[in-house]
């Protein structure tokens, strides 16, 4: 793919085109220094410029300036980005790659829609399933039945592209583990704060145990906990897959549902997310809805109330109260892997480590590259399983070298990615969410 060089006087781009095709103003931030290259997983894998942050930005800019059509090479460069945002952490110019990729994918969906099977799969998944807890619950129940009957492979084959990823789904837990959280859980001891736990879409179906552990830990830290299942999906997966219209709709639903959580006395809870991807996305609702006159101010207020689970618990009051409740566990060597959307997306790095250091006697070992992507990347593991597994392989090597018998994460996508990778390789390393680790240490509970 050859791109004509940038001329001294570039053709101006109308704001309408910029909004449709790429985020042109953001693409101008790159100073081409190349400091991002070594930390980009797709560049590390391929070694080719269009698979790097700098290359992707160069292509976006060329498309915006009319020097390049959105041809297959461009589509591939935009599609293969993991949106891990590692480049954002190392870029001296402060690029916003997550935002740029979302806009570029949304633009491609408008000017060069994918084939109908992909469009239909996305429509069913992103617009039909994720926003509906009832439908997700039905699908989870049906998947559990198929898994127990050993029929997932047969059905995946029958569904063709629509069944992609069915084989790799983890075992769906029984219905009792997929229940909604209680509307209200009082603090376990003297009460100090009020939080709402964002339940999300996929987590209640696959990781209900993480939610329940989160409630117990928050309550032990002195918080009363409201269940927050009203809005289901935050819209992160829709945005990452270039469906910004649905992402905005989910953002409005989430904000409206959260506003209803304000108590009669005017007390507004802190909205806790134990999913790094959802938390990072909800913290950016103000950007997503900036051009919506009815919602822009409400979004700005909303983002001030969102906190990651570890971010909240590591604040002085909750941390001190929780630390008094933590006892010894018998987990062996434990390591923490930073979810991309927690470290690069939210700048939350030390807080989970501080909380782990409060567990008496916990043997914490470090990973070689804890901030590099595991390859889960939203739907990437389902849509591009081979590439995803290649990215994961490097992480699994680092994990083996660390000697850890438990890997701690804080994002459901990474959790599933590690679990399936470890299962494939026959490893007995256990994967826990940070909330599960802390829950096991509560009152020195036996493991
Ligand atoms: S580090 Fe930032 S400014 Fe430098 S090449 Fe990469 S994206 Fe561009
Ligand atoms: S978001 Fe990740 S995969 Fe995409 S360009 Fe940046 S570092 Fe590379």
**Residue pLDDT, tens place only, 381-409:** 777 788 888 999 999 999 999 999 999 99
Q: Kindly list the protein residues whose Cβ atom lies closer than 6 A to any atom of ligand 1.
A: 30-36, 53-54, 57, 87, 91, 93, 95
Return the ligand 1 atom nearest residue 52 CA: 6
Contacts of 239 (CB under 8 A, 6+ apart): 102, 247, 281, 288
Q: Does the pLDDT of residue 251 top 70, yes or no? A: yes
Task: Report the pLDDT value the prediction gives residue 20, as an integer from 0 to 100.
Answer: 62
Q: How confident is the model at residue 122 (pLDDT cuts 50, 70, 90)?
A: confident
Task: Report the pLDDT value the prediction gives residue 11, as an integer from 0 to 100.
Answer: 41
Residue owning tokens 């084959």: 157
42 lines ligand 2 (CB under 6 A): yes
Ligand 1: distance of its center to the CA of 57 in Å? 9
Nearest by Cα to 235 from 222, 263, 254: 254
By residue count, the chain amounts to 447
Average pLDDT of the residues in 78-104: 95
| Averaged pLDDT of the chain | 89
Task: Report the pLDDT value the prediction gives residue 233, as an integer from 0 to 100.
Answer: 92
Domains and CATH numbers, the chain: 15-111 (1.10.1060.10), 116-175 (no CATH), 176-313 (1.20.1050), 325-441 (3.40.50.11810)
Give the span between the Cα atoms of 296 and 69, in whole angstroms. Answer: 33
Ligand 2, atom 5, residue with closest C-alpha: 53
Of all residues in the chain, the percent with pLDDT exceeding 90 is 64
Ligand 2: distance of its center to the CA of 98 in Å? 8
Average pLDDT of the residues in 179-200: 93
81 lines ligand 2 (CB under 6 A): yes
Ligand 2: distance of its center to the CA of 83 in Å? 5
Q: Does the pLDDT of residue 8 top 50, yes or no? A: no
85 lines ligand 2 (CB under 6 A): yes
Q: How confident is the model at residue 18 (pLDDT cuts 50, 70, 90)?
A: very low
Ligand 2, atom 2, residue with closest C-alpha: 84
56 lines ligand 2 (CB under 6 A): yes
Task: Report the pLDDT value the prediction gives residue 14, as an integer from 0 to 100.
Answer: 43
Ligand 1: distance of its center to the CA of 276 in Å? 24
Ordered alpha helix ranges (H), 260-315: 276-282, 285-288, 296-303, 309-313
Task: Report the pLDDT value the prediction gives residue 225, as an integer from 0 to 100.
Answer: 96
Task: Report the pLDDT value the prediction gives residue 146, as an integer from 0 to 100.
Answer: 86
Task: Report the pLDDT value the prediction gives residue 262, as an integer from 0 to 100.
Answer: 81
Ligand 2 pocket test target in 41, 49, 277, 391 with most atoms within 8 Å of CB: 41
Q: How confident is the model at residue 7 (pLDDT cuts 50, 70, 90)?
A: very low
Q: How confident is the model at residue 5 (pLDDT cuts 50, 70, 90)?
A: low
Ligand 2 pocket test target in 26, 42, 51, 277 with most atoms within 8 Å of CB: 42
Contact 222, 191 (CB under 8 A): yes
Return the ligand 2 atom nearest residue 85 CA: 1
Q: How confident is the model at residue 256 (pLDDT cuts 50, 70, 90)?
A: very high
Q: How confident is the model at residue 155 (pLDDT cuts 50, 70, 90)?
A: confident
Q: Does the pLDDT of residue 16 top 50, yes or no? A: no
Q: Does the pLDDT of residue 313 top 70, yes or no? A: yes
pTM over 0.85: yes
User: Lowest mean pLDDT: which of 92-101, 111-120, 219-228, 300-309?
Assistant: 111-120
Q: Does the pLDDT of residue 329 top 60, yes or no? A: yes
Q: Does the pLDDT of residue 10 top 70, yes or no? A: no
Task: Report the pLDDT value the prediction gives residue 71, as an integer from 0 to 100.
Answer: 85
Ligand 1 pocket test target in 26, 28, 30, 50 with most atoms within 8 Å of CB: 30
Enter the DSSP assignment of 125.
I
Q: Does the pLDDT of residue 220 top 90, yes or no? A: yes
Ligand 1 pocket test target in 44, 49, 53 with most atoms within 8 Å of CB: 53
CA 167 from chain centre, in angstroms, equals: 22
Give the span between the Cα atoms of 384 and 380, in whole angstroms. Answer: 5
Q: How confident is the model at residue 162 (pLDDT cuts 50, 70, 90)?
A: low
Strands (E), 82-198: 184-185, 193-198
Contact 92, 135 (CB under 8 A): no
318 lines ligand 2 (CB under 6 A): no
Contact 50, 73 (CB under 8 A): yes
Residue owning tokens 């700005």: 300
Ligand 2: distance of its center to the CA of 97 in Å? 7
Q: Does the pLDDT of residue 70 top 70, yes or no? A: yes
Task: Report the pLDDT value the prediction gives residue 377, as an integer from 0 to 100.
Answer: 80
Average pLDDT of the residues in 411-433: 93
Ligand 2: distance of its center to the CA of 269 in Å? 34
Nearest by Cα to 89 from 345, 284, 336, 287: 345
Most confident of 7-11, 317-321, 373-377: 317-321
Q: How far is CA 347 from CA 100, 112, 231, 232, in A?
A: 19, 35, 26, 25
Looking at per-residue pLDDT, the higher value among 19 and 165 belongs to 165
Residue 351 half-sphere exposure, CB side, CA atoms within 13 Å? 21
Q: Which ligand is nearest to the CA of 375?
A: 2
Looking at per-residue pLDDT, the higher value among 125 and 234 belongs to 234
87 lines ligand 2 (CB under 6 A): yes
For residue 352, which phi and psi values (nearest 5 degrees)?
Answer: -60, -35
Return the ligand 2 atom nearest residue 80 CA: 3
Q: Which ligand is nearest to the CA of 83?
A: 2
Looking at per-residue pLDDT, the higher value among 186 and 18 belongs to 186
Q: Does the pLDDT of residue 210 top 80, yes or no? A: yes
Q: Does the pLDDT of residue 445 top 60, yes or no? A: no
Q: How confident is the model at residue 91 (pLDDT cuts 50, 70, 90)?
A: very high
Return the ligand 2 atom nearest residue 42 CA: 3
Ligand 2: distance of its center to the CA of 96 in Å? 10
């Amino acid at each position: 793919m050859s791109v004509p060089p940038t001329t001294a006087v570039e053709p101006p781009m109308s704001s309408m085109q910029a909004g449709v095709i790429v985020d042109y103003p953001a693409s101008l931030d790159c100073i081409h220094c190349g400091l991002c290259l070594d930390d980009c997983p797709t560049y590390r894998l391929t070694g080719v410029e269009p698979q790097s942050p700098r290359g992707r930005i160069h292509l976006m800019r060329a498309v915006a300036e009319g020097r390049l059509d959105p041809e297959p090479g461009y589509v591939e460069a935009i599609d293969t980005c993991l949106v891990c945002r590692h480049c954002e952490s190392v870029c001296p110019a402060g690029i916003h790659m997550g935002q740029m990729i979302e806009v570029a994918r949304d633009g491609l969906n408008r000017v060069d829609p994918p084939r109908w099977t992909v469009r239909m799969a996305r429509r069913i998944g992103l617009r039909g399933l994720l926003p509906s807890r009832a439908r997700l619950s039905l699908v989870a129940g049906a998947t559990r039945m198929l898994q127990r009957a050993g029929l997932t492979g047969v059905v995946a084959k029958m569904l063709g592209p629509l069944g992609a990823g069915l084989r790799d789904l983890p075992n769906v837990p029984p219905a009792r583990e997929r229940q909604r959280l209680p509307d209200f859980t009082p603090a376990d001891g003297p009460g100090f704060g009020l939080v709402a736990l964002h339940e999300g879409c996929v987590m209640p179906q696959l990781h209900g145990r993480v939610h329940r552990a989160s409630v117990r830990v928050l309550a032990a830290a002195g918080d009363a906990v409201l269940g927050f299942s009203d809005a289901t999906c935050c819209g992160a997966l829709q945005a990452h897959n270039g469906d910004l219209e649905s992402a905005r709709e989910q953002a409005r639903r989430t904000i409206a549902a959260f506003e209803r959580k304000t108590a009669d006395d005017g007390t507004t809870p802190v909205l806790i997310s134990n999913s790094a991807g959802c938390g990072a996305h909800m913290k950016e609702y103000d950007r997503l809805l900036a051009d919506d006159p009815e919602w822009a101010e409400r979004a700005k207020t909303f983002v001030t109330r969102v906190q990651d689970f570890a971010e909240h618990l590591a604040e002085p009051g909750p941390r001190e109260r929780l630390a008094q409740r933590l006892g010894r566990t018998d987990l062996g060597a434990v390591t923490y892997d930073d979810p991309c959307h927690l470290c690069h997306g939210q700048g939350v790095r030390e807080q989970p480590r501080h909380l782990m250091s409060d567990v008496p006697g916990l043997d914490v070992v470090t990973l070689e590259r804890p901030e590099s992507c595991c390859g889960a990347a939203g739907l990437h593991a389902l849509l591009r399983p081979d590439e995803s597994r290649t990215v994961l392989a490097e992480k699994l090597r680092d994990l083996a070298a660390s000697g850890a018998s438990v890997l701690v994460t804080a994002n459901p996508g990474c959790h599933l990615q590690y679990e399936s990778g470890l299962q494939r390789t026959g490893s007995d390393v256990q994967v826990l969410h940070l909330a599960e680790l802390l829950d096991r240490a509560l009152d020195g509970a036996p493991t």
